[in-house]
């Protein structure tokens, strides 16, 4: 039974990963190599592939084991504490680039005893590391403006992230204070009320302190929660949300159309006639209509209906719409 399940799952994966088509400049293409962008399975399978490669080929390599004193990877960014000379470094780098024909690594060394990794600035101080927060030179203060027509949860999401990072990184007091000042400057530049950000800070700080000082988990009530997604329509949405919360229904709001969705059309649009789905055909001589469904192109299915009418053979017609047209004249 387990073999049958495995075989079934492999077939499903093969179908999801290999039946990928896209249009560019009005031409249809099929992806031949790699995982498709936008496919929900791609991130998971890429992580499984890299983890397997690390365990079986990289971290078990004697040369790598000897010189890699610390190794951490986040998606496709890797941080390594290396011990050895330049020759050893080049040797290990060559090993990395021979792990797989489709994987190519680049190397960035610390500069002035500092290396930026993700959103961290890591400074090498003898036998210890000093952590700071790194922002790219292109970083701007553009976040959702407080007056924007978005749910409050969406507006505060960025600040939740900033405070969570601040409270959970081992920053020294000077860097902690500097980051806190940046957060409040960002709030002021986007017209967020000072009291709102202060309340959020103290709430998240209290939650972080509880989490860091106790191993007890919060009491969980075994009441199932239902989630529903609705468009955000303003103040009424909040009272609507509170009402449904009493019945363990959590409402998740989505923002309405923005300028980007209206003005930006970077993908080739597939003509409606080349899509599939549910369609409706109206009789030209009466008020009757036919509703059908097809998994192929509408143009293909419409052509079949027309062909049945042209054949004019009621005994072999497989189209109810064509049969109706022929019977009613």
**Rounded to whole angstroms, how far apart are CA atoms 169 and 57?**
32
Q: pLDDT at residue 317 above 80?
A: no
What number is the average pLDDT over the span 221-233? 78
Report the share of the chain in percent with pLDDT over 90.
45
Instruction: Indicate the range of 172-176, 177-181, 183-187, 212-216 predicted with least confidence.
Output: 212-216
Query: 194-219: per-residue pLDDT in tens?
Result: 999 999 999 999 888 887 777 666 55
Q: pLDDT at residue 226 above 90?
A: no
Where along the chain do its domains lie?
A: 2-112, 152-213, 226-263, 274-328
DSSP character at residue 56? I
User: 316 or 160, which is more confident?
Assistant: 160
What number is the average pLDDT over the span 16-43? 82
Return the exposure string of 209-226: e unless at least 16 CB atoms fall within 10 Å of the residue's CB, then b.
Answer: eeeeeeeeeeeeeeeeee
Strands (E) in the chain, as ranges, are 21-24, 27-30, 68-74, 77-82, 114-117, 120-125, 128-133, 226-231, 249-254, 277-282, 289-294
Task: Please give the structure tokens belonging to residue 273.
Answer: 């006639």
What number is the average pLDDT over the span 306-323? 77
Give the C-alpha distances (Å, rounded to integers) separating 180 from 56, 175, 211: 43, 9, 21
What pLDDT shows up at residue 220? 59
What pLDDT shows up at residue 222? 64
Mean pLDDT for all residues in the chain: 87
Query: 250-287: per-residue pLDDT in tens?
Result: 888 887 766 776 676 667 777 888 889 999 998 888 88
**Rounded to whole angstroms, how far apart are CA atoms 13 and 41?**
9
Q: pLDDT at residue 179 above 60?
A: yes
**Rounded to whole angstroms, how far apart are CA atoms 17 and 36?**
7
What pLDDT shows up at residue 219? 57
Is-contact 249 226, C-beta < 8 A? yes
Is-contact 124 110, C-beta < 8 A? yes
Q: Is the pTM of this model over 0.75?
A: no
């Amino acid at each position: 039974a387990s073999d049958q399940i495995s075989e079934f799952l492999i077939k499903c994966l093969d179908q999801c990963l290999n039946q990928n088509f896209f249009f560019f400049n009005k031409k249809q293409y099929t992806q031949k190599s790699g995982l498709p962008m936008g496919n929900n399975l791609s991130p998971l399978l890429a992580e499984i592939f890299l983890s397997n490669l690390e365990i079986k080929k990289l971290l078990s390599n004697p040369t790598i084991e000897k010189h890699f004193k610390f190794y951490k990877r986040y998606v496709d960014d890797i941080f390594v504490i290396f011990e050895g000379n330049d020759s050893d470094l080049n040797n290990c780098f060559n090993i990395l680039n021979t792990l797989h024909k489709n994987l190519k690594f680049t190397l960035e060394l610390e500069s002035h005893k500092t290396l930026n990794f993700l959103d961290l600035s890591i400074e090498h101080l003898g036998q210890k590391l000093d952590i700071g927060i790194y922002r790219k030179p292109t970083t701007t203060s553009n976040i959702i403006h407080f007056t924007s027509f978005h749910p409050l949860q969406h507006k505060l999401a960025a600040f939740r992230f900033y405070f969570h990072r601040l409270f959970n990184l081992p920053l020294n007091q000077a860097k902690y204070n500097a980051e806190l000042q940046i957060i409040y400057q960002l709030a002021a530049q986007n017209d967020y009320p000072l009291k709102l950000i202060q309340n959020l800070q103290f709430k998240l700080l209290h939650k972080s302190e509880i989490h860091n000082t106790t191993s007890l988990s919060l009491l969980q009530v075994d009441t199932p929660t239902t989630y529903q997604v609705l468009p955000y329509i303003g103040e009424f949405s909040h009272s609507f949300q509170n009402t449904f919360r009493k019945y363990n229904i959590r409402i998740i709001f989505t923002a309405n159309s923005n300028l980007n969705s209206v003005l930006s059309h970077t993908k080739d649009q597939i003509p409606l006639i080349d899509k599939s789905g549910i369609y409706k055909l109206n009789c030209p001589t009466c008020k009757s209509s036919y509703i059908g469904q097809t998994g192929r192109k509408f143009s293909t299915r419409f052509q079949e209906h027309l062909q049945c009418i042209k054949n004019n053979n009621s005994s072999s017609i497989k189209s109810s719409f064509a049969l109706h047209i022929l019977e009613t004249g």
